[in-house]
Each structure stands twice: as structure tokens, then as C-alpha cells.
Structure 1
Amino acid sequence: MSGRMKRMDIWSFITAVIFVGYIVFLIVPLFMILIKSFFDGTTGEFSLAYFHKFFSKAYYMNAVWNSVKVTVCVTLLSIIVAGPLAYIMSTIRIKGSGTIRILILISSMSAPFIGAYAWILLLGRSGVITKFVYQVLGVRMPDIYGFAGILLVLTLQLSPLIFMYVSGALKNVDHSLMEAAESMNCTGIRRMWKVLVPLITPTLLAGGLLVFMRAFADFGTPMLIGEGYRTVPVLIFNEFISEVGGDDGFAAAISVIVILFTTVIFLLQKYIANRKSYSMSALNPIEPKRKKGLSNIAAHAYVYLFTAIAMMPQVYVAYTSFQKTSGKIFVKGYSLDSYRAAFSKVGDAIYNTFFLAGLTILIIIFTAILIAYATVKRKSAAANLLDTFTMLPYIVPGSILGIALLVTFNKQPIILSGTAAILIAAFVIRRLPYTIRSSAAVLHQVNDSIEEAAISLGASTMKTFFRITVPMMLSGVIAGAILSWISIITELSTSIILYTGKTRTMTVAVYTEVVRGNYGVAAALSTLLTVITVISLLLFFKLSGKKEVTM
């Protein structure tokens, strides 16, 4: 009995400490944003002026409408494009399917704004494809800027997430259901719509929510190619950091509205998913089969075309990184000048990225192990609440979290603004869920009797945890940590708010170099990020034994 009480005390203490961390670095900053939005920045009195200003001017409401239009269109297009892609890859044997899956993953793992920059080089007013079409056909193509460009970049960037979700769901569908439908003369698209779509609807909703949240929160893409097509993250950034004097109170009010909106979307998705959920056990899972004739050609063409278009930005950016430059302009010939310039001009950003990401990952690994264990093996009301806290970063855009942390920690008693600590805190809060989910998935498979046997032999609770349980969790922890690492090194929306000259990261450096027109340096840094991402993904596949990623 005393041993059990001791075990409860230790984990109650650990849970309480983690709670304090979340309260200090997430709940309090969000609460500060809420308070700031209701008090006048000049007089300090309670006021609804910020909200009145937002809802009374078409300029601000247009930004909300623009964001909603972009996110809804990106989500629907991603489902329309990636749903059939996953179905084809799951049911038809495609040559080189393993390589294609890896390439699709790589295309989704880079920062969206790098894709935006690449498409500027390809489809901008002086882009390679734009000039080629005009010179050969005499036709002036529509340029990449504005709504259409944002839609293209984000759809190509985020549709692989739907592909991953749907591919995973299709593995759990029993093939006998398909055969039964076929025996009732329900085949082709009708069978997919009547049988498969209802079964994978919860998965589509989960993937759609992730795409929706990422598209809604994306800052870099509309900032680079929006050209007047203003979205909410850009609006918040401009209101908070403005050359003519930003109004952080108004930015806070917009942030509160955005959080309320994303929370409603999140809860609506959960409600619909629970209503539409099915329990499936694939005793006879769907296997890809050889096809012949036109359907086989069409399937291969669709898969290869999507992969080629999705990878085009990364490939072209890598190509331009080896081109010679004269000032800011690419010229004929090849050299390593862009890489030399990158290391000499922004070498500190490369160092900062590795240093900040490395330190963040160490904190994430340690914290994720404890949270996963507390929520899976020490179930309680507190553990359930902690699990809910870990999900909050999904509904809080990175730019808003950055503003919340800056507003909270720019004065006594804790001043973190301008330091590496505030960036690390933001990265940990935002990217911790990846490692928690991966660790918890492994922990669910660990039998409680193993721990009980170790304790009965005289091992202490914590010794059993670190010597027995943690080693069994390690594969899931490392796999999740690699995904967290990839998302940290490609993070922009939070970094752009919190960085200083001494804490600039590679993503911030790429963004600033693109804005300045230094495309060679930007290409070199983007290629380095892509190479790091590819190596990290290959390491993930090696350690996890998988060829796919579950978000």
C-alpha cells in the first residue's frame, strides 16, 4: 500500500510540474492576450474598442474572408487531389511506389514559404516557365501572385498530409467489403463513394482539420506571394510589428477572434468524427494489384504527375543554388558562390538553427516521455486535463503563440524577449505533441505486468521507469523526436515574431533573403534545409521500420 502511495506521489509531483510549465508558457500567455484585447492601450481602461474596430471595417473582415476562402479551398482541393492518389497507391501496383511515397513525404516536410519562393522562380513575372511559354507560344501566363498562387502552393504542400492519413485508413479496410460490394454490381467510382468514403470519413475529417489549421495559420506563403491578398496571419503580423507603430492590443484582439474560430472548427470536427466513426478490423486488408490497359496507364500518369509537380519546387531551388550569381541576379554557369555567401553572410543562422533545435529536442524528448507515461499509464482527471493541454497548440497558430509569449515575457518578473529561451519555449510547446503521440502509441503496447514484476523484485518506481519502461519506449520516442526536429527547423510563423539578430534561424534567413531579392543565398539555405529534412526522414524510416509518417 505504501509503495502504491509513493508511486502516486512521485507521478502526481511530475504531472504537477509539467502542468506548471504549460500554465506558465501557454495558458498565462494566452490569458494575457485575452486581457490585453479588452483594455485600451492608452488609458488602460476596459474597452471593446479593438473588437469594434475589427468588425466595423471591411479591410479587416476581408482578411478574415480571404483566410477562410484560402483554407476551405486548400482543404477541399487537398482531399480531391490526395484522396484518389491514396486510393490508387493502395489498390493498384505502381512501379517505384516506395520511392514515390518518400518523395511525397519530402514534398510535404519543407516549409510552405520555400515552395512559394520556388514558384516565384518558376511562375513569377520573370519566372522560367513564364518566360518559356511566352517565348515559344507567345502567350502571357497568369503570374503566381495572389489567391491562385497561394492556393497552388498550399495545396501542393498540404495534400500529402491527406495522402498519409487516407493511406493509413485504407490499410484498416477489409477487402471482403469491397468484394461484397462488387458482387452486388457496385464497382469503380460508385463503390469507392458508397463503401470506402463512409468508412474513412473520420480519417478524412482528421486530415482535413490538420490541413485547415496549417493553411489558416500559414504566414510565409501569403506574405511572399499574396501581393495585396491579405490573410489573418499577415494582418496580425503587420498590426503587431509595424514600421509606423504597431498596436499590440489590436493584434491581441484579432488573435482572440482567431483562437475562438479555430476552436469552433476543432470541436465541430471532433463532433462530426465521433458521429461518423466506425470500428474496423482488416483480417483481409486491401492489397495493391496489377492492372492492365488504360486504367493502369491513367493510374501511373496521375501518381507520377502529382509527384513531379510536388517535387518541382525543391528540385528547382536546389538547381538554382548551384547557379552563378552577379549581385542578386542568376547568370550563366555554375559555382558554389551562393553557398559561400550563405555561410559567410548568414552562418550564424545555420548555427542557431542547429543549436536551438538540438536543445529543444532534448527538452521535448524528456518531457514527452513523462507526459506519455502519465497520460497512458497513470490515468486520472489530472492526466486527462494534461492530455488536453498538449492538444492546444493544434488550435493556436504559431504567430499568435509568438505574440502571446512576447507580450507576457517582455517585463518583470520574467524577461525572456530577445533571448534564445523564448524561442525554445515556443518550439517546445508547438512541437511537443508529435513526440508525445508517437511515444504514447508505443507505450500502449507495453504490458503493465513487466513493471509490476520489476517492482516486486525490489526496484524503485523511478528505477523501473528509466531502466525498464523508457528503453521499450525508445523507438517511438526517437521517431516522434525526428518529426519534431523536422517541424522545428522549418518553422517560420513563430520564429519571425520572436527572433532577434542574435537568434535568427535558417527559415527567417531564407525569408529575409527572398524579400531582399538575394535568391542565390535563399536557394542555398533552402537546399540545406531540404537535405537536412531528407536525412532526418530517412533516419526516421530506418529507426521506425516504417515507410510512412502518422501525424
Structure 2
Amino acid sequence: MNNAMKRRDIWSFITAIIFLGYIVFLALPLFMILIKSFFDGTTGEFSLAYFQKFFGKAYYMNAVWNSLKVTICVTVLSVIVAGPLAYIMSTIKIKGSAAIQILILISSMSAPFIGAYAWILLLGRSGVITKFAERVLGLQMPDIYGFTGILLVLTLQLSPLIFMYVSGALKNVDHSLMEAAESMNCKGLRKMWKVLVPLITPTLLAGGLLVFMRAFADFGTPMLIGEGFRTVPVLIFNEFISEVGGDDGFAAAISVIVVLFTTAVFLLQKYIANRKSYSMSALNPIEPKPKKGLANIAAHAYVYLFTILAMMPQVYVAYTSFLKTSGKIFVDGYSLDSYRAAFTKVGDSIYNTFFLAIITIIIITLTAVLIAYATVKRKGAVANLLDTFTMMPYIVPGSILGIALLVTFNKPPILLSGTAAILIAAFVIRRLPYTIRSSAAVLHQVNDSIEEAAISLGASTMKTFFRITVPMMISGVIAGAILSWISIITELSTSIILYTGKTKTMTVAVYTEVVRGNYGVAAALSTLLTVITVLSLLLFFKLTGKKDVTM
């Protein structure tokens, strides 16, 4: 009895500490921007002026409609493109499928704004493809800037997320269901629509929600390629950062509106997913089989075309990083000048990225293990509330979290603005869910009796946890930590708000170099980021023994 009470007290204390961290670095900052949005920045009096200003001017409402237009179109297109892609890869033997899955995954792991920068080089007014089409084919290419360009970049960037979700769901579908449908003359697209789609609807909704949130919160792509097509993240950034006419109170009001909207979307998705959920156990899972004739050619063409388009930005950026430069201009020949310039001009950003990411990953790994255990093994109202807190970073866009942290910690008693600590706090809050979910998934498979046996033999609660439980869940911890690592080093929306000259990261450096027109340096840094991402994924596959990443 005493051991049970002691065990409960230790985990109650750990849960309380974790709660305190979330309250200080997530709940309090969000509460502060809520308060700031309701008080006049000049007089300090309660006012609804910021909200009246937002809803009263077409300029601001246009940004909302633009964001919704982009987000909805990207989400729908991603499902339309990636759903069939996952189905083809799951049911038809595609040559080189293992390599293709890795390439598709790599294409999704880079920062979206790097894709925007690459497509400017390819399809911009002076882009390689644009010039080739004009000179050789006599064709006028469509304008890459504005809505079209944003849609292209985000769809290619985010479709792999739907691909991973749907691929994971299809592994849980029993092939006998497909055979039963075919025996009733339900074949082809009708079989897919009538049988498969209802089964994977919750997964499609979960993947669609992630795509929706990422597209809605993306800052770098519309900033680089939008050319006047203003979205909400750009609007918030300009209102908060602008030295002329900027108003952090108004930026806070917009942030509150955005968080309320994303929360409503999240709750709607959860409600629909719960009503459409199915329990599946695949005793005879779907496996890819050889196909012949036109169907085989069409399947290979579809898969290869998507992979080429998805990887084209990274490949071309890597190519340009080796071109010789004269000042800011690419000239004939090849050299390592861009890499030399990258290390000499913005070399600190490379060091900062690794330093911040390593510190963040250490904190994330330890915290995620504790949270996963508290939410999986310590079931109850408190555990459910903690689980809800861990989901909030999915709802809050990175730029808004950055603003909330700056508003909260820009003066004593906790002065963090301008330091590396505020960036680490933001990275931990935003990227912790990856490792929590991966760790919890493994922990669900660990039987409680194993811990009970260790405690009955005299081991303390913490000794049992670290010597018995943690080693059994280490594969999930490592998998989640690597995915968190990749998302940290490619983070921009939060970093662009919080960085200073001493804490600039590689993504911020790439963004600023693109804006300044230093495309060689930007390409070199982007290529380094891609190489780090690839090595991280290879490490993930090596340590976990997996051949792909599904969700």
C-alpha cells in the first residue's frame, strides 16, 4: 500500500511539474495575447477597437478569404493527389518503390519556403523553364506568383503527409474485404469509393487536418512567392514586426481570431472522425501485386511524375549551390564559392541551428517519455487534460506562438526575449507532440504486470521506470525524436518572430538571403538542410528497422 501511494505521489509530482511548464510556456502566453487584444495599446483601457478594425475593413477580411482559399484548395488537392498515390503504392508493385517512398518523404520534410524559392528559380519570370519555353518552344508559361504559385508549392509539399497517413491506414485494411466487394461486382473506382474510402475516412480527416493547419499557418511561401496575395500569417507578421504602422495589440487580436478558428476546425474534425471511426484488424493485409498492360504503365507514370515534381525543387536548389557566382549573379562554371560564403557570412546560423536543436531534442526526449507514461499509464481526468494540452500546438500556428511568447516574456521577472531560451521553449512546445505520440504508441503495448513484478522485487518506482519501461519504449522515443529533430531544423514561422542576430537559424538565414537576392548562399544553406534531413531519415530507418514512415 505504501509503495502504491509513493508511486502515485511521485507521478503526481511529475505530472504537476509538466502541467506547470505548459501553463507557463503555452497557456499563459496565449492568455496574454487574449488580454492584449482587448485593451487599447495607447490608453490601456478595455476596448473592442482592434476587432472592429479587423472586421470593418475589406483589406483585412481579404487576407482571411485568401488564407481560406489557399488552405481549402491545398487540402482538397492534396487528398485528390496523394490518396490515389498511396492506393497505387499499396496495391501495385512499383519498381523502386522503397526509394520512391524515401524521396516522397524527403520532399515533405524540407521547409515549404525553400520549395517556393526553388520554383521561382524554375518558373519565375527569369526562371530556367520559363526561358526555355519562350526561346525554344515559343510558349508563354503561366505566372508562378500569387495564388497559383502558393497552391503549387504547398500541394507538392504537403501531399506526402496525406500519402503517409493513407498508406498507414491501408495496411490495416483486410484484403478479404476487397475480394468480397469484387465478388459482388464492385470493382475499380466504385470499389475504392464504396469500400476503401469509408474505412479510411478518419485517417483522411486526420491527415487533412494536419495539411489544413500547416497550409493555413505557413508564412514563408506566401511571403516569397505571393507578390501581393496577402494571407493571415503574413498579415500578422507585418502588423507585429513593421516599424511603420505596426501594432502588436492588433496583431494579438488577429491571433486570437485565428486560434478560435483553428480550434473550431480541430473540434469539427474530431467530431466527424469519431462518428466515422471503424475498428479494423487486418489478418490478411493488402499487399502490392504485379500489374500488366495499360494499368501498370499508368500507375508507374503517375507515381514517377509525382516523385519528380516533388523532388525537383530540392534537386535544382542543390544544383545551383554548385554554380559559380559573381556577386549575387550566377555565371558559367561550377565552384564551391556559395558554400564558402555560407560558412563565412552566416556560419553562426549553422552552429545556432545545431546548438538549439540538440538542446531542444534532449528536453523533448525526456519530457515526451514522462508525458507519454503519464497519459497512457496514469489514466484519469488529469491525464486526459494533460493529453489535451499536448494537442494544442497543432492548433496554434507557429507565428502566433512566437508573438505570444514575446508578449509574455519581454520584461522581468522572466525576461527571455532576444535569448536562445525563448527559441528553445518555442521549439519544445511546438515539436514535442511528435515524440509524445510515437512514444505513447509503443507504451500502449507494454504490459503493466512487468512493472508490477519489478516493484514487487524491491525496485523503486523511478528505477523501474528508467531501467524497465524506458528501454521497452526506446524505439518509439527514437523515432519520434528524429522526426522532431527534422521539424526543428526546418522551422521558420516561429524562428522568424523570435530570432536575433545572435540566434539566427539556418532557415531564417535562407529566408533573409533569398530576400536579399543572394541565391547562391541561400542554395548552399538549403542543400545543407536537405543533406541533414536525409541523414536524419536514414538514421531513423536504421535505428527503427523500418523501410518507410506511416502515420
TM-score (norm 2): 0.99
Instruction: Tell which deviates more after alignment, 107-116 or 134-143.
Output: 134-143
Instruction: Tell which deviates more after alignment, 20-29 or 173-182.
Output: 173-182
Partners of 1:48 and 1:62 lie apart in 2 by 20
Partners of 1:284 and 1:473 lie apart in 2 by 27
Report Cα offsets for 1:101-137 as digits up to 9, x if no partner. Answer: 0000000000000000000100000000000000012
Instruction: Tell which deviates more after alignment, 192-201 or 541-550.
Output: 541-550
Partners of 1:287 and 1:453 lie apart in 2 by 40
Report Cα offsets for 1:144-166 as digits up to 9, x if no partner. Answer: 11000000000000000000000
Instruction: Tell which deviates more after alignment, 448-457 or 29-38.
Output: 448-457
Number of residues of Structure 1 aligned to a counterpart in Structure 2? 551
2:98–2:548 contact (8 Å) kept in structure 1: no
CA drift at 1:292: 0.5
Report Cα offsets for 1:360-389 as digits up to 9, x if no partner. Answer: 000000100110111111112111111100
Instruction: Tell which deviates more after alignment, 283-292 or 539-548.
Output: 539-548
CA drift at 1:467: 1.1
CA drift at 1:308: 0.5
Matched ranges for 1:50-199 at <5 A = 50-199=50-199
CA drift at 1:472: 1.2
Partners of 2:30 and 2:55 lie apart in 1 by 21
CA drift at 1:243: 2.7
CA drift at 1:311: 0.2
Partners of 1:545 and 1:262 lie apart in 2 by 36
Structure 1 residues 272 and 508, CA gap change in structure 2 (3 angstroms): same
CA drift at 1:245: 4.0
CA drift at 1:530: 0.1
Report Cα offsets for 1:397-423 as digits up to 9, x if no partner. Answer: 000000000000001211000000000
CA drift at 1:258: 0.2
Partners of 1:188 and 1:467 lie apart in 2 by 52
CA drift at 1:485: 0.3
Q: Secondary structure at the match of 1:278?
A: coil
Q: Secondary structure at the match of 1:324?
A: strand
Which consecutive aligned stretches of 4+ in structure 1 deviate over 3 angstroms post-superposition?
A: none
Report Cα offsets for 1:184-211 as digits up to 9, x if no partner. Answer: 1111111111111111111100000000
CA drift at 1:357: 0.3
Partners of 2:454 and 2:198 lie apart in 1 by 46
CA drift at 1:547: 2.2
Report Cα offsets for 1:307-355 as digits up to 9, x if no partner. Answer: 0010000000000000000111111100000000000000000000000
Q: Give 1:497's aligned residue.
A: 497
Partners of 1:549 and 1:139 lie apart in 2 by 40
CA drift at 1:58: 0.2
Partners of 2:245 and 2:293 lie apart in 1 by 64
Partners of 2:470 and 2:201 lie apart in 1 by 35
Instruction: Tell which deviates more after alignment, 61-70 or 236-245.
Output: 236-245
CA drift at 1:60: 0.2
CA drift at 1:445: 1.0
Report Cα offsets for 1:428-455 as digits up to 9, x if no partner. Answer: 0000000001111111111111111111
Q: Give 1:237's aligned residue.
A: 237
Partners of 2:298 and 2:487 lie apart in 1 by 34
Q: Secondary structure at the match of 1:257?
A: helix
Q: Give 2:461's aligned residue.
A: 461
Q: Secondary structure at the match of 2:346?
A: helix
Partners of 1:369 and 1:333 lie apart in 2 by 51
Partners of 2:550 and 2:56 lie apart in 1 by 42
Partners of 1:481 and 1:212 lie apart in 2 by 24
Instruction: Tell which deviates more after alignment, 495-504 or 376-385.
Output: 376-385
* Structure 1 unaligned spans of 5+: none
Report Cα offsets for 1:493-541 as digits up to 9, x if no partner. Answer: 0000000000000000000000000000000000000000000001111
TM-score (norm 1): 0.99
Identity of aligned pairs, percent?
90
Q: Secondary structure at the match of 1:333?
A: strand
Partners of 2:542 and 2:351 lie apart in 1 by 26
CA drift at 1:550: 3.9
CA drift at 1:143: 2.4
Partners of 1:284 and 1:468 lie apart in 2 by 34
Partners of 1:7 and 1:549 lie apart in 2 by 36
2:479–2:544 contact (8 Å) kept in structure 1: yes
Partners of 1:279 and 1:190 lie apart in 2 by 22
Are 2:350 and 1:381 aligned?
no
CA drift at 1:548: 2.4
Instruction: Tell which deviates more after alignment, 139-148 or 156-165.
Output: 139-148
